[in-house]
Amino acid sequence: GASCRVLSLQGSLVFLVSGLAVLGYAAALSAQPTYQGVVRAVCGAAAGKLCEVCFLLNLFMISVALLRVVGDQLEKLCDSLYPNGTLSGAPSPPPWYADQRFTLSALCVLVIFPLSVPREIGFQKYSSILGTLAACYLTLVIVLKYHLQAESLGSPTPPQPCRASSWASIFSVIPTICFGFQCHEACVAIYSSMRNQSFSHWVAVSVLSMLICLLIYSLTGLYGYLTFGEAVAADVLMSYPGNDPIVIIARLLFGVSIITIYPIVVLLGRSVVRDVWAAPKRGAAAVPEVHERRSRVALTVAWMATTLAIALFVPDIGKVIEVIGGISAFFIFIFPG
């Protein structure tokens, strides 16, 4: 049941915060600016190489999932602007500029790519604030929609009491929880960009961040389930009608929150690729600024083009999240341990 899943979410918070604290402490000791660098310095070269492979695969799949989610929201938005129907009742294809393949590609080129090119992660604190506010608005909409839902949504399905099978299903949602809380991959880079790098300050930031995420995720998941029952979509916004103005705004802001995350994932992916590429050349001279910028832009273009091409043909985001969540467990539970 939903209450069992919320309980599982709350229980996981202890391990999530503990992992962040351990990673921050290890980053301070090793003086490494990246997750894979910390693992390599603390656990040795073999563990560092395993971390790089898992890290790169995980970040790549996360990028695909993020673009897939944005694409779903764009598709719903275009459907609300161009209803698929005519006066005769026959379906009419949307204009070419309302096709998801065009809108998502244009968004990547015009918005996401410029945000993904910069070298440092520090500037993302401004866009991340906007993403956090967007997530809060989304949660508020879902809660209000449950209490003030329109007749078209029908009566909410009452939650079922926790049964033995429900408790067993807790383990099945752990990958989804890992996907939702997978800030661990970026936490070392975030810690390195902080002005105040004291351990107590880092723990306070970690606890506060996880509590905010817990509140947002719990309310969104619980009220989404209470509204739609077992019929709720993996992306809860896809369960709402496309012509509701409040939901349209929520989709726009939700897309904004995802757009602010993607550049961070790209930055982390570039750091892993650079580490793998530079590993055989540890003694080489420093790369000139011009070459560094060219390689950074080229990596960003290649990363974005590949993930976009895959995202346009992924039919079910739920399956992708399950795979990502399983890999994320390495970075949340195993490597910090």
pLDDT digits (tens, 9 = 90+) for 249-294: 888 888 888 888 888 889 888 888 887 776 555 544 566 778 888 8
Q: Are 291 and 140 in contact (CB under 8 A)?
A: no
Count other C-beta atoms under 10 Å from residue 77's C-beta: 19
- Closest to 211 in 3D by CA, of 8, 10, 3: 10
For 21, residues 6+ apart whose C-beta sits below 8 A from its C-beta are 199, 202, 203, 206
Question: pLDDT tens digits, residue range 93-116?
Answer: 667 777 888 889 999 999 999 988
Question: What pLDDT does 51 receive?
Answer: 81
Measured in whole angstroms, the distance separating CA 274 from the mean position of its chain's CA atoms is: 22
Closest CA to 235 of 11, 7, 65, 62: 65
Using the structure block, give the residue that is written with the tokens 């960003």: 300
User: What pLDDT does 18 receive?
Assistant: 81
What's the pLDDT score for residue 301?
Answer: 94
Helix ranges restricted to H, 149-244: 164-168, 174-180, 184-193, 199-228
Give residue 164's pLDDT: 43
What phi, psi does 175 have (nearest 5°)?
-60, -40
Question: Token pair 């896809």 is at which residue?
Answer: 238
Give the pLDDT confidence score for residue 317 in this predicted structure. Answer: 63
Q: Which residues of the chain have pLDDT under 50?
A: 85-88, 150-151, 153, 157, 161-165, 167, 283-284
∠ CA 144-244-251, rounded to 5°: 80
Where do the domains of the chain lie? 2-334
In whole angstroms, what separates CA 262 from the centre of its chain? 8
Nearest to 179 by CA among 239, 151, 221, 123: 221
pLDDT at res. 165: 47
> So what's the pLDDT on residue 69?
84
Collapsing DSSP to helix, strand or coil, 117 comes out as: coil
